Amino acid sequence: MGKIINKKDIKHIAKLAELKYSDAEIDKITDQLDKIINHITKIGQADTSNIVPTSHVLEITNVYREDKVRISFTREESFKNAPLEDEDGFKVPKID
Amino acid sequence: MENEFADIKNEYETVIGLETHVELSTETKMFCGCKLSFGAQPNTYTCPICLGHPGSLPVINKKAIENAIKIALALNCNICENAVFHRKNYFYPDMPKNYQISQFDMPVGINGYIDVDMGSYVRKVRVTRVHVEEDTGKLIHIGSTGRISEADYSIVDFNRAGTPLIEIVTMPDIKSPDEAKQYMITLRNILLTLDVSDCSMEEGSIRSDANVSVKLISSDKLGTRTEIKNLNSFRFLQRGLEYEVDRHIDIIKSGGKVIQQTRHYDNKTQTTMVLREKEEAHDYRYFPDPDLVPMKIKEDWINKIKDTIPELPSAKEKRYKDFLGLSDYDSSFMANDFEISSYFEEVLKHHDNAKAACNWIMGDFSAFINKDGITLRQSKITPENLAGLIKMIDSKEINGKIAKLVFEEMYNTGKNPTDIILEKGLKQINDTEKLEKIIDEVILKNPDAVSQYKSGKSKAISYLVGQVMAKTHGKANPQIVNEIIIKKLS
Amino acid sequence: MSLINLGAYELNELIKKKEISVFEIAKAYVQRIDEVENDINAFISFDNDLVFSRAREIDKYIKDGNDILDFTGIPIAIKDNVCTKGIKTTCASKMLSNYVAVYDATVINKLNRHRFLMIGKANMDEFAMGSSNENSAFGVVRNPWNLDCVPGGSSGGPAASVAAFETACSLGSDTGGSIRQPASLCGIVGLKPTYGRVSRYGLVAFASSLDQIGPLTRNVKDSAALLEAIAGYDEYDSTSINTDVPNYKSFLNTDIKGMRIGIPKELMIKEIDCEVKSSVNNALRMLEKSGAIVEEVSLPNLEYALSVFYVIAPSEASSNLSRFDGVRYGYRNTKSRTIREMYKKTRAEGFGPEVKRRIMIGTYCLSSGYYDAYYDKAKRVRTLIINDFKKAFLEYDVLISPTSPTTAFKIGDRADDPLTMYLSDVCTIPVNLAGIPAISLPCGVSKNNLPIGIQVIGDILREDNVLKIASAIESEVKWKMNLQI
């Protein structure tokens, strides 16, 4: 089984996903993901010419709501689970 | 400067494409029932859906889709029968779900255009797509300067998150900053006519990102483009682009290379500054949002929406020309500004004299409001009162000279013309008996002029009319006075 | 006989006859929980006082002369990924360990109309990712049949609590088998309804196009009744089906003569334990005796199902779980100086290894350059699988297979090998990909005293056929329960 995924890939994917693996963890996850992705590549063998992709198993279309106002949160409800907030909003560290 | 720019233009070609975001003025947000509210107490117009709480699901606001279709139709787009919402994945603290529900390869409208009237020519700007998405929340950067890079921390307000947003993307068909500005004006006017957005610049309900590049006319190779983000006024758009075009040309002239960048226009310095270097290849991982089902926009629905589209500015202009008899210039002036045309048409509703209404709006009225830096609607003169004034002139209740006085009074006080005329006794004197008495007096007192007239100097009559006007404080009907004098002296 | 041994419908009858109060039921269950919960660990949130005060309220409601519905006063455990207003909803994750839901899921609203007795919030694999309930920030759940074994997952808590008589029934969620597989491993009945039959509003999403909420019960009748109570159109869920909810209870104990049953040979593979196979075959013989026609059928594309699932589910999950960033709710690393640092540390510390693994797989499959080969391709193969089922259902009323290739395995046995763990769901995953309904119910007990489950699969919205056959199996196939506790 050839390697599909290497450490560099893992670092790139982790960056996209806003995750972080320590140097100690990275070999393990690389190995695990490589095995899984190797297994997944099996789908490549299926003949899907002229086959449309399925996003929804049900053929439902045009589901809308009317433009009617519903009750919003109170300020307290908004902040109920907030890790850190002040008067005006959710506080977050400096944006980089 | 103008000429310099023209010279440069001769050597270099500017290529501009615009991406405009328009906030729709629906009652509620795109995917939840929270009311749209600008300037409300932060985070009070939120719910599990627009705060991205676990387990919540979006449901599409039908009105927003109808408005998007309306816009796409007005921009001559093809409506895509199968329109789909995708997720655009990236992390940013103003995004409640860290993905934005947007449209990718199956937007509501594609392949449209806007004709931008540049006075001496028309620039056809192709519109590649009209799509629907949700707006983000608002970030406030707390720190000494309020700038993101120098902030200690930031505060997020999610009231705006989930506001329906329409993105309108053009082909790079725009050839100058001036055209870009005119495109924005034209687009905004169409959107205002459609009544789908308040298009408020201050509140950021319409804002553009501009892609600009410059190339030698002789060259086939496109220049490297830069993007200026978030231009939320016509002036900023034009100035930002002018600066950027100059900057590109300077770099090319000095043998340098333009670097692909995202830039920001700073009105204080009137320059653009780097926001970030060439995107570290954003990977948005678009995929169809499995929480939403596809839209199926069929002919009958489109037709229903078509019926709700009011007369658009281009059709208005043609009607003003063909049916109201306005000149090319006047028609364009009246039709291509939503506020002016709506004001104009309201005046006509009360009194049907298009030419006079047009003349007042373009003449005295424009002069007054320009001086005060206000708009027609902000002035104290209602369309009904302006119509009343024109009606009085037409029915010869007052003459043109008095009308100007009345207009000024209307402008200053907001009173209606009838009251002003009554108050100030400005009604025109059309009573021949009354006028004959005054004329007789004038003829008696001015034998010289009379004899000059009789000896064939016909001009002398205007002196006599003038005397009558002076005696009546301008209220005499000059035409009637003229006729009586001729009759009396013949 | 203790009250806890009764099924929901039996309790319901006693309540209707005013022979027992809800408070008495509550007392019996609380006592049982006190006895066994230390061993089982089926609950994340459980509060005696709250249960009693709810029970008293319901008793008053009944006393006031209000209608008694199927689940009035019936103890139901709720998987901890279903939002319950004012009550912690943790998804068994450190990320949400202090998260108090701010609204009720639609299924909770529906059950509240019945005045059900919420007994507690049930343990699970973190964010419903797992097949053993070992991926919980709140500790493993143990199988009541054998405390050294896993209860299955991800609805391990809901399944174990029903099997251990800690609740009359429970609600779980099923993305790739998360109701049916633990039901099978715990010897109870678990039903995954047709996709869209039950509203997902308030179910913390794992994979949106696959997730469904469904009942875990001790018998088929309770399953039918609980489905009836939670099913139906919901304007808050665009993917919910807008058709009437049938009277599911009416499909029980009906004649199955002439019903056609297909056995997909792709689900009777070598990985299936001999004992499991023979139990399932035994059940099939009973069905034949009752007049059903049983035939082998081939759904060739099922061989891709596992791979398709492990593209689609993680892809959707990677996006669904992006919202857990420490900004608006949930765990936050408070020592970060910048937002990116906070994101990374919050998510690295807040999510367990399996959740992170799936986010990584999904992010990879959606990322630029790989989308076509993985995500798009998987969605096309999904179509092939759906077509296979469509074809099969032209000929058969239901399809039958084992639920799980094996009986409950030992805690720790597969914990370090994700791929082997994923294989636990090989028989259940195709059902989610096709959006069709399926039930798992016990069909025997292995020599080492672990229950064996059989899976009955129906066509879209044909829960009726599923229940008919399940009911027949339940009444014909005898087995003996022998819990360790």
How many angstroms separate the CA of residue C259 from the nearest CA in chain B? Answer: 34
Kindly tell me the number of DSSP H helices and DSSP E strands found in chain B: 17, 17
How many angstroms separate the CA of residue A1 from the nearest CA in chain C? Answer: 15
Catalytic residue among C154, C279, C315, C404: C154
User: What's the rounded Cα separation, in Å, for the pair C251 and B270?
Assistant: 76
CATH topology of domain C3-262+396-476: Amidase signature (AS) enzymes (3.90.1300)
Greatest Cα pair distance, chain A, in angstroms, is: 58
**Residues C211, C213, C214: CA angle, nearest 5 degrees:** 130
Closest-approach residue (CA) in chain C for B286? C366
Which chains touch C (3+ CB pairs under 8 A)? A, B
Contact residues, C window 78-117, toward B, CB-based 8 Å cutoff: 81-83, 89, 91, 96, 99, 101-103, 105
Q: Which residue from B227, B142, B53 is spatially nearest to A95, judged by alpha carbons?
A: B142
Residue C194, both tokens:
């047709």
Among C322, C351, C384, beta carbon nearest to A48: C384
Q: Which residue from C357, C406, C415 is spatially nearest to C140, judged by alpha carbons?
A: C415
Kindly give the confidence (pLDDT) of every residue in chain C, 485 residues in length, as a single tens digit, with 9 standing for 90 and above. 589 999 999 999 999 999 999 999 999 999 999 999 999 999 999 999 999 999 999 999 999 999 999 999 999 999 999 999 999 999 999 999 999 999 999 999 999 999 999 999 999 999 999 999 999 999 999 999 999 999 999 999 999 999 999 999 999 999 999 999 999 999 999 999 999 999 999 999 999 999 999 999 999 999 999 999 999 999 999 999 999 999 999 999 999 999 999 999 999 988 899 999 999 999 999 999 999 999 999 999 999 999 999 999 999 999 999 999 999 999 999 999 999 999 999 999 999 999 999 999 999 999 999 999 999 999 999 999 999 999 999 999 999 999 999 999 999 999 888 888 999 999 999 999 999 999 999 999 999 999 999 999 999 999 999 999 999 999 999 999 999 98
* B287 contacts on C by Cβ (under 8 Å): 315-316, 319, 366, 371, 375
Q: Is the pLDDT of residue B9 over 80?
A: no
CB C313 within 8 A of CB C330: no
User: What's the rounded Cα separation, in Å, for the pair B461 and B448?
Assistant: 11
What is the radius of gyration, based on Cα positions, of chain C?
Answer: 21
Is B364 found in the same domain as B285?
Answer: no
What is the radius of gyration, based on Cα positions, of chain B?
Answer: 30
- Point out which residues pair with C295 in neighbouring strands: C262
Give the torsion sign (CA, C429, C432, C437, C439). positive
Catalytic residue among C131, C155, C173, C178: C178
Name the pLDDT band for B278 (thresholds 50, 70, 90). low
Is B212 found in the same domain as B318?
Answer: no
Is B91 found in the same domain as B155?
Answer: yes
Q: Is residue B38 part of a domain?
A: yes
Tell me if residue B88 falls in helix, strand or coil: strand
Q: Is the pLDDT of residue B250 over 50?
A: yes
Q: Tell whether C85 lies on the interface with A, counting CB pairs under 8 A.
A: no
Is B438 found in the same domain as B293?
Answer: no
Cβ neighbour number for residue B202 with a 10 Å cutoff: 8
Examine the residue annotation and report whether C440 is marked as an active-site residue of this protein.
no
Residue C192, both tokens:
């995954």
Phi and psi at residue B449, to the nearest 5°: -60, -40
- Point out which residues pair with A86 in neighbouring strands: A89
Instruction: Tell me the CA distances in angstroms from B128 to B83, B107, B229, one per residue in order.
Output: 15, 10, 19
User: What's the rounded Cα separation, in Å, for the pair A7 and A5?
Assistant: 7
Interchain pair C367, A40: CB under 8 A: no
Q: Which residue from C148, C280, C168 is spatially nearest to C222, judged by alpha carbons?
A: C168
Contact residues, A window 67-86, toward C, CB-based 8 Å cutoff: 73, 77, 80-84
The count of structural domains within chain A is 1
Interchain pair A94, B153: CB under 8 A: yes
DSSP state of A60: -
Interchain pair C83, B54: CB under 8 A: yes
Say what the pLDDT of residue B454 is.
85
Examine the residue annotation and report whether C345 is marked as an active-site residue of this protein.
no
Q: Tell whether B25 lies on the interface with A, counting CB pairs under 8 A.
A: no
Pick the last residue of a domain from B424, B458, B473.
B424
Is B88 found in the same domain as B189?
Answer: yes
Is B436 found in the same domain as B401?
Answer: no
User: What's the rounded Cα separation, in Å, for the pair C320 and B269?
Assistant: 43
**Residue B483: domain span:** 432-489
Which chains touch B (3+ CB pairs under 8 A)? A, C
Interchain pair C363, A80: CB under 8 A: no
Instruction: Tell me the CA distances in angstroms from B474 to B159, C93, C422, one per residue in order.
Output: 60, 88, 98
Tell me if residue C287 falls in helix, strand or coil: helix
Q: Tell whether C478 lies on the interface with A, counting CB pairs under 8 A.
A: no
Calculate the CA B185 to chain-centre distance: 5
Interchain pair A61, B33: CB under 8 A: no
Interchain pair A9, C364: CB under 8 A: yes
Q: pTM of this prediction?
A: 0.92
Q: Where are the alpha helices (DSSP H) in C321-462?
A: 339-350, 353-366, 377-395, 418-422, 429-434
* C233 contacts on B by Cβ (under 8 Å): none
Q: Is residue B306 part of a domain?
A: no
Among A75, A78, A94, beta carbon nearest to B151: A94
Please name the residues in contact with C229: beta carbons below 8 A apart, sequence gap of 6 or more. C69, C70, C71, C110, C111, C114
Which of B109-118, B163-172, B445-454, C450-459 is predicted least confidently?
B445-454
Q: Is residue A90 part of a domain?
A: no
Pick the last residue of a domain from B253, B277, B301.
B301
Average pLDDT, chain A: 93
Residue A51, both tokens:
């086959």
Torsion of CA C254, C260, C264, C269, to 10 degrees: 60
User: What's the rounded Cα separation, in Å, for the pair B471 and B434?
Assistant: 12
Is B232 found in the same domain as B86?
Answer: yes
CB B65 within 8 A of CB B30: no
Q: Is residue B280 part of a domain?
A: yes
CB B339 within 8 A of CB B376: yes
Which whole number is the average pLDDT over A64-91? Answer: 94
Q: Is residue A23 part of a domain?
A: yes
Q: Where are the alpha helices (DSSP H) in C5-142?
A: 8-16, 22-40, 48-63, 106-114
The count of structural domains within chain B is 3
Q: Which residue from B334, B410, B411 is spatially nearest to B372, judged by alpha carbons?
A: B411
Phi and psi at residue C172, to the nearest 5°: -125, -175
Phi and psi at residue C203, to the nearest 5°: -90, 120
Give B465 or B8, the one with higher predicted confidence.
Answer: B465
Interchain pair C348, A19: CB under 8 A: yes
**Buried (b) or exposed (e) across C119-157, using 16+ Cβ within 10 A?**
bbbbbbbbbbbbbbbbbbbbebbbbbbbeebbbbbbbbb
Q: Which residue from C204, C288, C210 is spatially nearest to C472, judged by alpha carbons?
A: C288
Mutate to test the interface with C, among A26, A58, A65 (most CBs of C within 10 A): A58
Q: Where are the alpha helices (DSSP H) in B75-117?
A: none
Q: Is residue A20 part of a domain?
A: yes
Mutate to test the interface with B, among A16, A20, A73 (most CBs of B within 10 A): A73
Closest-approach residue (CA) in chain B for A58? B293
Closest-approach residue (CA) in chain B for C208? B290
Say what the pLDDT of residue C416 is.
86
Residue A93, both tokens:
């560290």
DSSP string, B358-391: HHHIIIIIHHHHHHHT--TTTSS--HHHHHHHHH
CB C168 within 8 A of CB C74: yes
- Point out which residues pair with B73 in neighbouring strands: none
Closest-approach residue (CA) in chain A for C433? A57
Say what the pLDDT of residue A2 is.
61
| Distance spanning both ends of chain C, measured CA to CA | 17
CB B399 within 8 A of CB B393: yes
Residue B215, both tokens:
């190339």
Which whole number is the average pLDDT over A90-96? Answer: 93
Interchain pair B287, C363: CB under 8 A: no
Sequence-ordered strand ranges (E) for C268-324: 293-297
CB C215 within 8 A of CB C110: no
Q: Is residue A31 part of a domain?
A: yes
Give the torsion sign (CA, C115, C121, C123, C125). positive
Is B86 found in the same domain as B43?
Answer: yes
CB C145 within 8 A of CB C162: no
How many angstroms separate the CA of residue C211 from the nearest CA in chain A? Answer: 12
Name the pLDDT band for B281 (thresholds 50, 70, 90). low
Closest-approach residue (CA) in chain C for A70? C236
| Distance spanning both ends of chain B, measured CA to CA | 63
* A94 contacts on C by Cβ (under 8 Å): 337-339
User: What's the rounded Cα separation, in Å, for the pair C193 and C179?
Assistant: 10
Q: Is residue B166 part of a domain?
A: yes
Is B185 found in the same domain as B334?
Answer: no
Which whole number is the average pLDDT over A30-49? Answer: 95
Give the torsion sign (CA, C420, C421, C422, C428). positive
CB C195 within 8 A of CB C210: yes
Is B361 found in the same domain as B267?
Answer: no
Q: Is residue A79 part of a domain?
A: no
CB C124 within 8 A of CB C156: yes
Q: Tell whether B157 lies on the interface with A, counting CB pairs under 8 A.
A: yes
Pick the last residue of a domain from B301, B332, B363.
B301
Say what the pLDDT of residue C211 is.
98
Q: Is residue B140 part of a domain?
A: yes
Q: Is the pLDDT of residue B7 over 50?
A: yes
Task: Give pLDDT tens digits for C442-464.
Answer: 999 999 999 999 999 999 999 99
Which whole number is the average pLDDT over B223-250? Answer: 93
Classify residue B421 as exposed, middle or buried by CB count within 10 Å of its CB (0-12, 13-18, 19+).
buried
Residues of A with CB under 8 A from a CB of B: 16, 18, 55-56, 58, 60-75, 78-79, 86-95
Task: Give pLDDT tens digits for B183-202.
Answer: 999 999 999 999 999 999 88
Please name the residues in contact with B13: beta carbons below 8 A apart, sequence gap of 6 or more. B175, B214, B215, B216, B217
Residue ranges of the domains in chain C?
3-262+396-476
Tell me if residue C98 falls in helix, strand or coil: coil
Cβ neighbour number for residue B360 with a 10 Å cutoff: 22
* A32 contacts on C by Cβ (under 8 Å): 357, 418
- Count chain A–chain B contacts defined by CB atoms under 8 A: 117
Q: Tell whether C435 lies on the interface with A, counting CB pairs under 8 A.
A: yes
Residue C31, both tokens:
């006592």
Among A55, A67, A94, beta carbon nearest to B63: A67
CB A64 within 8 A of CB B59: yes
CB B53 within 8 A of CB B194: no
Cβ neighbour number for residue B252 with a 10 Å cutoff: 18
Name the pLDDT band for B1 (thresholds 50, 70, 90). very low
Say what the pLDDT of residue B2 is.
46
User: What's the rounded Cα separation, in Å, for the pair B43 and A90?
Assistant: 9
Interchain pair B287, C319: CB under 8 A: yes
Q: Is residue A72 part of a domain?
A: no
What is the radius of gyration, based on Cα positions, of chain A?
Answer: 23
**Residue A28: domain span:** 7-44
- CATH number of the domain at B464, please: 1.10.10.410
Examine the residue annotation and report whether C155 is marked as an active-site residue of this protein.
no
**Residues B353, B354, B356: CA angle, nearest 5 degrees:** 70
CB C225 within 8 A of CB C257: no
How many angstroms separate the CA of residue A9 from the nearest CA in chain B? Answer: 14
* B152 contacts on A by Cβ (under 8 Å): 94
